[in-house]
Amino acid sequence: MFRLSRKNLIIIAVVIAVIVILVAFGPIEVWNLVLLQPILNLLVLLSSVFFGSFGIAIIIVTIIVRLLTLPLTLRQLHATKAMSALAPKMQEIQKKYAKDQEKLRKEIANLYKESGVNPAGCMLPLLIQFPIWIALYQSITRALASSPEELLNLSQNLYALPIIQQTVPLQAQFLWLDLGAPDRYFILAILCGASMWVLQKMSTLPSADPRQQSMGKTMIWMMPLMFAMFTLMVPSGLGLFWVVSNIIGIIMQYYITGWGTLAGFSLAGLLTRAPATAPPPATPGPAQQLQTPMGAEQEEALAAERMKQEKRLEHGKSRDKRKDRRGGRRDSSRKARRRS
């Protein structure tokens, strides 16, 4: 007979509950009630606490949300790192079974199973965090209420607390910024682009796949440029949120992977090289090493970084094995107790 594990039962129950709530109240009401309004009111409340400064409120709420989603972020970062460490083996398998697709799929599945890596582990935590980030993003823009219509809209999303009612409309001035309008001095756009570039550079892990390498290279430049451009167009409250979020991301990334491919990077190197010929973000396989020019110092730093990562991964694997063993022992002792 088909049996469901407890974990699957919980997942099914949660999914059914979410569907029932969505159908009963409507998706927009649920979204507003569960995510948008709490974050929006927290922003307004913090503005009131911090002398009416909406800028400080944005910084604090971004930190709070980053901390609340920290377990998910860590899981995602660890999973990405583990996937990246498997890349050389994956390439070997792909070469070996290039003509037999079925065998290739089986071998890849075996590789994931043996190394205890779940490919969905990179995406799932990101997907779970996604609604929270959208709600935070929407809350900032709604709280700013830069037109009378938006203020009218804001009135429908505030809690009936005097401290919140008294704070609205929010003070849009923060440092040199009018948080409701784009930064005229381009400082925020530069900060946003630079911080995102650092984060991208740190988070791009070594890959043996030339396609991934090429995509990584493009993204390291494209994403910061794109966000810098957005920052020039949208209210600077959003730009501030992106900059703070990037800085927190850099700190977190440093504790997980260290400086990553940023290690050994020098500003002089950046200035003398055009973006298109920038060094690859990863330690490539032997074939790529011949093709890509790289400074000896940088090579050494990347090799050291890679060794560190492999060690961490090994450490993680042995920890998992120890956990499994402990879990096994616990199961057998439970069974023994039941028998007695």
Partner 1 sequence: MLFALLIVGCLFLTGCLPGTGGGFLCGGGSAPSGWSGPVVGNDTLYVGSMTGRVIALEDLSLARARIKWQYPPSDESALGYIYGTPCVADGVVYVGAYGGATRDPKVYAIDSENGWRIWAYPDEGSIGPIIGSPVIANSTLYVGSSDGKLYAIDIETGRDIWRFETGDDIWAAPAVHDGVVYIGSFDQKLYALNAENGVKVWHFDTGAAIASTPLIYNDTIYVGSFDRKFYAINLDGTEKWQFDEAENWFWDKAVAYGDFIIAGCLDGRVYALDAETGDCKWYYPPEDEEPVGPVRGAPALVGDVVVFGSEDGKVYVLDASTGQELWHYPSEEDYLGPVRAPICAGNGVVYVHASNQKIYALDMEYGRINWSFSTVD
CA distance 154 to 40: 9
Q: Within a 10 A sphere around the Cβ of 253, how many other Cβ atoms?
A: 22
Indicate the residue among 20 and 233 with the shorter CB distance to partner 1.
233
Strand ranges for 65-155 from DSSP E: none
Element (H or E) spanning 133, and its range? helix 123-144
CA distance 215 to 209: 10
Angle at 225 between CA 123 and CA 294, to 5 degrees: 80
CA distance 208 to 215: 12
Note whether 192 binds partner 1 by CB under 8 A.
no
- Two tokens at 209? 């796949």
CA distance 160 to 118: 46
Report the residue from 98, 149, 336, 337 that binds partner 1 according to the rule CB under 8 A.
Answer: 149
**Which of the residues 228 through 257 are near partner 1 (CB under 8 A)?**
230, 233-235, 238
Note whether 159 binds partner 1 by CB under 8 A.
no
Report the residue from 49, 72, 74, 168 that binds partner 1 according to the rule CB under 8 A.
Answer: 168
Note whether 134 binds partner 1 by CB under 8 A.
yes
Report the residue from 66, 81, 142, 201 that binds partner 1 according to the rule CB under 8 A.
Answer: 142
Contact residues for 269 (Cβ-Cβ < 8 A; gap 6+): 279, 295
Binding region for partner 1 (CB under 8 A) out of 112-120, 227-235, 286-294, 302-310: 227-235
Indicate the residue among 211 and 338 with the shorter CB distance to partner 1.
211
Note whether 332 binds partner 1 by CB under 8 A.
no
Closest CA to 282 of 210, 332, 334: 210
Report the residue from 55, 193, 216, 284 that binds partner 1 according to the rule CB under 8 A.
Answer: 216
Note whether 227 binds partner 1 by CB under 8 A.
yes
Binding site for partner 1 (CB under 8 A): 123, 126, 130, 133-134, 137-142, 144-150, 152-153, 155-156, 160, 162, 165-166, 168-169, 182, 215-216, 219, 223, 226-227, 230, 233-235, 238
